[in-house]
Amino acid sequence: MTYNRLHLWDLINNMENKNYFKIKIIDMIRGDLMIITLDYTRLTAIGIQKVIPICTQIVTNGNNKLLFLGSKDSKLELEPLYNIAVLAQSILGGNLVWDIIDELPKLGEPQDLGGYLILNSPTDR
What is the band of 80 on the pLDDT scale with cuts at 50, 70, 90?
confident
Secondary-structure percent of the chain, ordered helix, strand, coil, rounded to 5: 30, 30, 40
SS3 of residue 37 by DSSP: strand
- Residue with the bigger pLDDT between 36 and 94: it is 36
Residue 76, pLDDT score: 62
What is the band of 43 on the pLDDT scale with cuts at 50, 70, 90?
low
DSSP state of 124: P
Residue 72, pLDDT score: 64
The residue-averaged pLDDT of 31-58 equals 68
Residue 55, pLDDT score: 56
Overall pTM > 0.75: no
Residue 116, pLDDT score: 92
Task: Give CA 117 to chain center in angstroms.
Answer: 7
Q: Are 48 and 80 in contact (CB under 8 A)?
A: no
HEC sequence for 98-123: EEEECCCCCCCCCCCEEEEEEECCCC
Q: How far apart are the first and last CA of the chain?
A: 59
Residue 10 has pLDDT above 50, yes or no: no
Residue 16 has pLDDT above 50, yes or no: no
